[in-house]
Chains A and B, each alone.
Chain A
């Protein structure tokens, strides 16, 4: 009897390990009522929106640069980037400071969002690949889709997302 119990706990442990192995955490936020998520390990901090120093001759979604404790970091408005509604700045408007890995170095970038929602646990196995929307929506920077509490959450691949931006910028130039 005791032996059986022990075996059960072993099974449970293995199961737990299995769950832990696939578990990952995302920070979710809203952009115009759509839910998005970024990997929590990439989030350095969350700040309130504050006025930025504008940089001339850049796309309008690159709002400018701020002084983050002595480092100059760019601020990008995700809502304008996705051409959602007109972006207005309210009390809940937040800036997520993200670490973007680019080849061998790490860049710090701030993104403007409507509001921060939650930190959620996600089982990696439930992440679904983004369906093909054709040319309407570029899916290159979408890491996947996942269902959380009956709502769809779009997971962003920020490395690709911000490197894509670089390409577009060069085209613009």
Chain B
């Protein structure tokens, strides 16, 4: 039976990485001393499915490694082991190690065997109690064990832990038949383990969910037992150990389990007492068993997990659309003017269905921001302990949905901002206490919708930004002239300048001054911007503003001369007729108008874009569209407002290049190309 398993690898990796995230989150939620059963169970299930999956796909070292983790978790679950910070840390380390292993296998690279061994050893040490000196050297124990003669006071016999994989019965094997065979060898005591049993409604009668703890008493050769299990050795996890070994040292049992059936079946004729010695080198053996993976790293095809409800609603909409379509086409077959009303209502139905369909389709790409947020508890946990700071991370608005592309591109800038807050923002505990603040600092990640934007805020209650310090530093670095006059806000914005860092010491966390300008560049590439609010001594907030989706935009068409442009609806504040007496001039040239309590510049679109106009150019006759971009406002003088529509954004740069003042293009209803205005770009253009 040769099924190309490769086709499932992608799914396996995706699920495993998800499982690892779950484990990580769960581990971070575990508070030492109290064992939250639900949490431990979640972690255990995640570990277990990774183990099962990797075993199925032949990634033996992954499954062996996970097995050890699982054993540790199992003990915690059963209450045999206290949940301690050290254990959690070891498990967290193992999660990282496992992630590296999987990533290496996925890209076809070699697994870093040293780090795997080290983590595995740590896990085993933890398993064996952690403080026993002898337990640090499981091999030694094993070798000692091997040299011991079989203790005669112990009854002869074997202890078999038999955990078949779910598909065991589908391969034509039946555990009952195997137990009967074992029974013929000696006195058999079988105990079934029901823990793996799913809920009754989820049971697949063809799957095996049980595992068995078997004690077989009597003078029996190891080989005879192996023969019984000969047909199922690839479809189960199994441990066979003699009573003598078991009684000799209980710790070896655990290590033995990790080695699983492999060493047991590879050397079936080995005497039982020396078998334990073979586990000294389980790694090389398993590593060699790893299937030859093609070294060429295939680019992983991107896939997305979608809520079934979303798909259902999409299918519903498609159904509605089909009904409307058939209605319209039957209407068109014999149409006369008396049925005009029907046609119009049909068309309006079509319009609403198309819109809903579009929204559902866009919804598929929407994912909750928690996909990005979930990595931060770990980051904060690790970094704060590394830096000796006490920091609490608060998350809110994790369920805010954002486009998948935004999720992918925002995580790096966000990590950088959070690291910055940890490193530069929150002070050391003693400094905080001296400043009259609680020693425990807070970093708050918050996401919410505002208008057509999603806003992600990183807030810390640290020292805040020092505008003057930033200014001096910028002068020193040659970013600005010493006599430049900047507002507070402009001073804060200096930290986004390339090659700018105020950290006194360059740490491995931040401080090389390459980050913030990249952060801003990435966010601007997404069509967003960053705002800084800060108060010295109180803390600072970095707010990232991003468009909800990158593919579709609500636009307002405006006429400029003979041409049509699209203004993003989200950036329009208001529009009104401009009369010439409302215009005031600055230095005879710059035109401004007063909007309530603010003087705003007027950008004459015709002049700015050099548009030829068939009509007469009259300054008093025109509509002023007040727009906001990156925190500054201005008025665009256009000839007419044409209508609102949703437009699909098409990049200009794919075949052309970036044009100042234009963010992208779109295709209008008549098939021609419309250009979408970029408000910040227009302001820059006007300043020339």
What is A's interface to B at a CB cutoff of 8 Å? 51-58, 64-67, 70-74, 107-109, 166, 169, 173
Contacts and interface: CB of A to CB of B under 8 A. Distances in A.
Given A56-B611, A71-B650, A72-B665, A109 B655 contact: yes
Given A53-B675, A57-B610, A72 B662 contact: no
Contact of A72 (B608, B610, B655): B655
A74 B667 contact: no
B386 interface: no
Interface in B662-688: 662, 665, 667, 671-675, 685
Given A54-B563, A71-B654, A107-B654, A66 B661 contact: no
Given A51-B672, A53-B665, A72-B650, 10 more contacts: A53-B672, A56-B611, A56-B661, A57-B659, A57-B685, A67-B671, A70-B667, A71-B654, A72-B656, A72-B673
A166 B660 CA distance: 15
B656 A74 contact: yes
B188 interface: no
A55 B662 contact: yes
B68 to A, nearest CB: 45
B609 interface: yes
B657 interface: yes
Contacts of A107: 654-656
Contacts of B671: 67
Contact of B657 (A57, A70, A169): A169
A29 B433 CA distance: 80
B652 interface: yes
Contacts of A56: 608-611, 659, 661-662, 675
B635 to A, nearest CB: 18
A53 B674 contact: yes
B610 A65 contact: no
B82 interface: no
Contacts of A74: 655-656
A65 B665 contact: yes
Contacts of B654: 71-72, 107
Nearest to A100: B655
Contacts of A173: 660
A67 B662 contact: no
A58 B659 contact: yes
Nearest to A55: B659
A173 B660 CA distance: 10
Contact of B655 (A54, A58, A71): A71
A66 B650 CA distance: 12
A58 B660 CA distance: 10
Interface string B597-624: 0000000000011110000000000000
Interface in B533-569: 563
B651 interface: yes
Most A CB contacts (10 A, CB to CB) among B654, B655, B675 go to B655
17 contacts: A53-B665, A53-B672, A53-B673, A55-B675, A56-B608, A56-B659, A56-B661, A57-B610, A57-B661, A65-B673, A65-B675, A67-B673, A71-B650, A71-B654, A72-B667, A73-B656, A108-B655
A23 B374 CA distance: 61
A74 B654 CA distance: 10
Interface in B574-588: none
* B609, B673, B675 — most chain A CB neighbours (10 Å): B673
Contacts of B659: 55-58
- Closest 5 A/B residue pairs (Cβ): A56-B609, A53-B673, A74-B656, A72-B665, A73-B655
B671 to A, nearest CB: 6
What bracket does the count of chain B residues touching chain A fall in? 20 to 34
Main secondary structure on B side of the interface with A? loop
A66 to B, nearest CB: 6
B673 A66 contact: yes
Contacts of A108: 655
Contacts of B651: 72
Contacts of B660: 57, 173
A76 to B, nearest CB: 10
A47 to B, nearest CB: 14
Contacts of B685: 57
A109 to B, nearest CB: 6
Contacts of B650: 70-72
Contacts of A65: 652, 656, 665, 673, 675
A72 B652 contact: yes
A173 B674 CA distance: 23
Nearest to B564: A53
Nearest to A106: B655
A118 B574 CA distance: 56
A67 B667 contact: yes
B297 to A, nearest CB: 18
Interface string B636-663: 0000000000000011101111011110
A53 B655 CA distance: 15
A51, A56, A64, most chain B CB atoms within 10 A:
A56
Nearest to B611: A56
Specify which of B654, B656, B671, B672 lies most central, judged by the most chain A CB atoms within 10 Å of its CB: B656
A107 B654 CA distance: 7
B109 to A, nearest CB: 24
Contacts of B673: 52-53, 64-67, 72
Contacts of A51: 672
B610 A67 contact: no
Contacts of B667: 67, 70, 72
Contacts of B675: 53, 55-56, 65
A169 B685 CA distance: 16
Nearest to A169: B657
A108 B659 CA distance: 17
Contacts of A58: 659
Nearest to A51: B672
Nearest to B565: A56
A54 B650 CA distance: 16
A8 B685 CA distance: 72
Contact of B609 (A52, A57, A109): A57
Nearest to B561: A54
A65 B676 CA distance: 13
Contacts of A71: 650, 654-655
B672 A67 contact: yes
Contacts of B563: 53-54
Contacts of B665: 53, 65, 72
A22 to B, nearest CB: 33
Contacts of A52: 673
A99 B657 CA distance: 15
Contacts of B672: 51, 53, 66-67
Nearest to A50: B672
Contacts of A53: 563, 665, 672-675
A61 to B, nearest CB: 14
A58 B658 CA distance: 11
A57 B611 CA distance: 10
A53 B673 CA distance: 6
A163 B592 CA distance: 41
A167 B466 CA distance: 41
Nearest to B609: A56
B6 to A, nearest CB: 28
A65 B674 CA distance: 9
Contacts of B611: 54, 56
Interface in B490-510: none
B3 to A, nearest CB: 37
A71 B648 CA distance: 12
Contacts of B662: 55-56
A169 to B, nearest CB: 7
| From A51, A53, A71, A72, residue with most partner B Cβ within 10 Å | A72
